[in-house]
Amino acid sequence: MRIGLVSDSHGNLGDLERAVSQMGRVEAIFHMGDYVDDALQIKHWTSVPVFAAKGNMDVYSQEGHLFIKTELGGKVILACHGHTLHVKNEYSTLRYKALEENADIVLFGHTHIPMIDQDDGLLMMNPGSVSLPHFGKEKTFGILTIENESVSGEIIPLMSEENRTL
């Protein structure tokens, strides 16, 4: 099972649409907030389920949830933006929340910095920002793969329109 991951699109629908296109075939897509309303646009571009987490910039929106807990591919996934768990300072609160929820995978955003950490049966993944990466880094999105009992994540640089092969 391949699952697309995006975060921190901040209204940049062009980059978001390119990321969804570059994901290829996926069975679901998670948007980890900032701007959660952008996740509604994803539903117009694809027929797969779209899960939308609410970020710190989404207080105005009626869409999304602070925490999403679901099971896909036989694994429990917890998704959030991460701002309420202070992920810009440290990941331990996020890790404890995931363990408390018996999650196998925790997905988050907020930092605009991609990361993957797998330890003690828990995969923690942030796909970075699809539109506003920090520290001059690349715009990125992620792919989560669940096969049998194994899970893995991949961070993928967003290709610009000029760099796409025809």
pLDDT of 163 > 70? The answer is no
Query: Model pTM?
Result: 0.93
**Could you read off the pLDDT of 38-97 as tens digits, one per residue?**
999 999 999 999 999 999 988 888 888 999 999 999 999 999 999 999 999 999 999 999
Q: HSE of 75 in the Cβ direction (CA atoms, 13 Å)?
A: 24
Q: Look at residue 166 in the predicted model and tell me its pLDDT.
A: 43
The per-residue pLDDT for range 9-32, each reduced to its tens digit, is: 998 999 999 999 999 999 999 999
**Interatomic CA distance for residues 129 and 162, integer angstroms:** 20
pLDDT digits (tens, 9 = 90+) for 108-148: 999 999 999 998 889 999 999 999 888 778 999 999 999 98
Rounded Cα distance between 152 and 80, Å, is 18
SS3 of residue 82 by DSSP: coil
Q: Which of 151, 45, 59 is nearest to 106 (CA)?
A: 151
Domains of the chain: 2-159 (3.60.21.10)
